[in-house]
Amino acid sequence: MTPVAKTGWLVAAAGLMCAGCGPRVPPPAPAPAAAASLAPASAAASAREQQRDRYIERAMAGTHVPGLEGVRLIGGGTGFYFASDKILTNYHVVGICKALTVGNGVEGSEGVAKLVASDPAADLAVLSTSATVPEPARFETAVYTETGEGMAIVGYPEHGLLVLEAELSPVDAVTRELVSDRPKFPFHGAVRRGNSGSPVLDDSGAVVGVVEAKVDTVSVYQNTGKVVDNIGYAISNHVVFDFLRTNRLAYLSALPAPSLTRAQLLDRAHGFVRQIGCWK
């Protein structure tokens, strides 16, 4: 596949479109008091609303990340810790940014990150940050044993509202595509802007690929008359391993582990998946 372009992140010839980045739409103002007659929200929903309100307050007060004065947030994507202080993401998420931030995975607060390795052709990049995690992601090194079922992507898809916590979307892949020696593999599942850099996880929580793009349904229909929807593309692990080895960056191999429920998988991923902010 043609490397993702820096502007627009659209690969028109292949009918593929970047799954992350692009200008972030400001969140809507809090609902007026008159709307309070609606049914009470759950405790979790109430906590999310409080987190969102705090984020909006900080945003309205100006840049809330020390050292980022004079720049503004222009877009973002997803990344994940593969070492205690190193984060893997797509190059197209960070390649044009003057400054980078990594969310704390809780309430939208960010810390400054530094680009330490990149490969535009492979569309991969590594960031370093002072914030660390105790349990980074582990990679499946025996992908040939995977069935292509029961997988998921975890990231920060846009829904028209600000997403503060990583979300899980179930996906599956054809086994022969997943285990091929091609640099990328297709998968079926919902992929939205903001998912670029999300890990593709098997049912035990091991990384089997990195989300890069989705099929541009409109472009494909205009060119072929066929409706192709909910098809994403991920960078294969062997490409990721080559990139990390070239840059002398260590990664963790998956250990034998039982299958997890969706809730357990998301809970584990929350420990290493983070939102990436692009500032310019």
Work out the average pLDDT over 211-236.
75
Q: Which helix (H) or strand (E) holds 222?
A: helix 217-224
pLDDT band per the 50, 70, 90 thresholds, residue 107: low
Task: Measure the CA angle with vertex 249, ends 243 and 252; round to 5°.
Answer: 100
| C-alpha distances out from residue 205 to 151, 269, 273, Å | 9, 7, 12
Instruction: Reply yes or no on whether the pLDDT at 153 is more than 90.
Output: yes
The candidate with the shortest Cα–Cα distance to 187, out of 144, 136, 145, 148, is 148
Instruction: Reply yes or no on whether the pLDDT at 146 is more than 90.
Output: no
Instruction: Reply yes or no on whether the pLDDT at 60 is more than 60.
Output: no
Instruction: Give residue for tokens 């009918």.
Output: 15
Instruction: Reply yes or no on whether the pLDDT at 5 is more than 50.
Output: no
Q: CA–CA separation, 221 vs 227, rounded Å?
A: 6
| C-alpha distances out from residue 8 to 32, 92, 97, 149, Å | 36, 10, 14, 32
Give domain 10-19+136-273's CATH superfamily.
Answer: Trypsin-like serine proteases (2.40.10.10)
Which tens digits make up the pLDDT trace of 165-222? 899 999 999 999 988 999 999 999 989 889 999 999 999 999 999 999 987 655 655 6
Are 90 and 4 spatial neighbours (Cβ–Cβ below 8 Å)?
A: yes
The candidate with the shortest Cα–Cα distance to 136, out of 206, 238, 241, is 206
Q: For residue 212, give every residue at least 6 positions away whose Cβ sits within 8 Å of its Cβ, in sequence order, or none.
A: 4, 18, 19, 90, 123, 184, 196, 233, 234, 235
Q: For residue 22, give every residue at least 6 positions away whose Cβ sits within 8 Å of its Cβ, in sequence order, or none.
A: 9, 75, 193
Are 195 and 155 spatial neighbours (Cβ–Cβ below 8 Å)?
A: yes
Q: What is the pLDDT of residue 38?
A: 37
Work out the average pLDDT over 116-129.
98
Q: What is the pLDDT of residue 31?
A: 39
93-107, 186-200, 202-216, 240-254: which has the highest mean pLDDT? 240-254
Q: Which helix (H) or strand (E) holds 220?
A: helix 217-224
Work out the average pLDDT over 29-56.
49
Q: For residue 147, give every residue at least 6 positions away whose Cβ sits within 8 Å of its Cβ, in sequence order, or none.
A: 175
pLDDT band per the 50, 70, 90 thresholds, residue 265: very high
